[in-house]
Structure 1
Amino acid sequence: MAKKDPSKPGRIKQIIETYQLTRKNDPRIGWILLGVFLLAGGAGFALVLLLLRGSLVFPIVFGVLTGILGVLIVFGRRAQRAALGSIEGQPGAAAAALGMLRRGWKTDPAIAFTKQQDVIHRLVGPPGIVLIAEGNPNRLKPLMASERRKHERVAAETPIHEVYVGDGPGEVPLTKLVKHVSKLGRNIKPAQMTDVLARLKALDANRSNVPLPKGPVPTSMKGARQNMRGR
């Protein structure tokens, strides 16, 4: 039997920590979750009571379970939003947010950047290649054009998408980044993705060994994601 890693908090502690983090950015979370529990639980109770007249035991149990399910769904979404809000504006926030994606995606943070810490991250998944820029759009556009040409040379048949993270016109807010890239379509299959990754590995091997720009890349999204999954 595998021993529990003492450095990792238990599931209950993880949930408490996630709730505390969420409450800092969403002070009404407690009342919202209570309301969700009462509404969802009440609806579940009433539905089963109408279908199964007689004993109240099953309607009560079903109502409680429905309320808990509603709380988990709402809490998960608001916790994710709060975690994104806590890192918004930090260098590398987009790369950290992309960690919320499920399996089947490959993220390469800061494949290109400027001296002012404007960066381009690369995401490879079902849509193809997604180049994600965060920082000053005016400084990023020539860098994005350069990266697009490099990627087209090694993966000409693979769709390449450009995404600018921000709150300006034509930009995608950080809180909607994961949802946005998930809706870009399914253009390549897993076998094709393996070939694309091999081509990109060759491309990256030819890049000059320039150090990353100064400034920490936020890691709080990783912890929040693990907490939400109960790891």
Structure 2
Amino acid sequence: MAARSSAPEKRPGFFSQIRSLYTFTQQSFRWLPLMLVGVVLLGIGVGVGIGFLIPPVAIWSVILWGVTGLMLGILGALMLMTRLSTNAMYKKIDGMPGAAGHVLSTSLGRKWQAADMPVGVNPKTQEAVYRAVGRGGIVIVGEGARGRLTRLVNDERSKAQRVASGVPVTVIYIGHGEGEVPISKLAPTIKSLPKKIDRATMAAVIKRIESVSQSLASMPIPKGIDPTKVRAPRPR
């Protein structure tokens, strides 16, 4: 008898996602419950206040405005928790191998193309170099000890300049030292780069770089982070 087909995996519901988001965020921000309650109460207070200020003052009007304030307070609390969960994620992955790749592949938007796998790596020390291509040109991101990254970064920069002559190449080192960019500011830093090339040139650059990078497919890759375990779940 043929094996019965497995049922499709059931996705978590809305309230399950909210609970997971809350649990994840509270691990980094212990004061989260008080903050959320405060936001909700503030919303109710604002709604009730508006109900008393707008004539004619009536109980039903105050109640309706109070309910409106409650809904706005809940919305504000969810927005705050989502923002804090992002900060909690950055705290958790800061300094972990593969953190830069995770951010590049998930946080740059459609105007940039990047992968979570490095384009250059030292398998012994886990120093790695990542690349992003967008309207701002080519960005090379070094992750690890800056001194040991020099050769990897220079090799990747030379390759980029060779196959994409005239396209600006920006080098960013992840860290907290002078001239380095914290992992939490990596995506905003790249997005803030001024536009230097058009979409057609961007597509051509991506194609050229990929054509000379096929040999890197068999290169050992350091074990990185698991995004499903680190990224904060978001309510839908």
TM-score (norm 2): 0.83
Which is worse superposed, 14-23 or 43-52?
43-52
Q: Is the 8 A contact 2:47 2:67 kept in 1?
A: no
The match for 2:218 is 209
Does residue 23 of structure 1 match 2:30? no
The partner residue of 1:71 within 70, 77, 82 is: 77
**2:158, 2:18 → 1: CA distance?**
45
Instruction: Please report how far the alpha carbon of residue 208 of structure 1 lies from its aligned counterpart in structure 2 after TM superposition.
Output: 7.2
Does residue 111 of structure 1 match 2:119? yes
- Percent identity of equivalent pairs: 32
**1:16, 1:127 → 2: CA distance?**
39
SS of 1:56's partner is helix
The partner residue of 1:101 within 105, 108, 115 is: 108
Residues 23 and 102 (structure 1), Cα distance of their counterparts in 2 relative to 1, 3 Å cut:
same
Instruction: Please report how far the alpha carbon of residue 150 of structure 1 lies from its aligned counterpart in structure 2 after TM superposition.
Output: 0.6
Residues 128 and 53 (structure 1), Cα distance of their counterparts in 2 relative to 1, 3 Å cut:
farther
The match for 1:218 is 226
SS of 1:199's partner is helix
Does residue 167 of structure 1 match 2:173? no
SS of 1:95's partner is helix
Instruction: Please report how far the alpha carbon of residue 44 of structure 1 lies from its aligned counterpart in structure 2 after TM superposition.
Output: 5.1
The match for 1:188 is 197
**2:172, 2:126 → 1: CA distance?**
17
The partner residue of 2:185 within 176, 197, 200 is: 176
- Larger Cα Rg: Structure 1 or Structure 2? 2
**2:66, 2:159 → 1: CA distance?**
61
The match for 2:146 is 137
Equivalenced residues, count = 224
The partner residue of 2:94 within 76, 88, 93 is: 88
- Ranges in structure 1 where 5+ consecutive residues have no aligned partner: none
- Ranges in structure 2 where 5+ consecutive residues have no aligned partner: 1-6
TM-score (norm 1): 0.84
SS of 1:110's partner is coil
* Aligned alpha-carbon RMSD (Å): 2.5
Q: Is the 8 A contact 1:84 1:97 kept in 2?
A: no
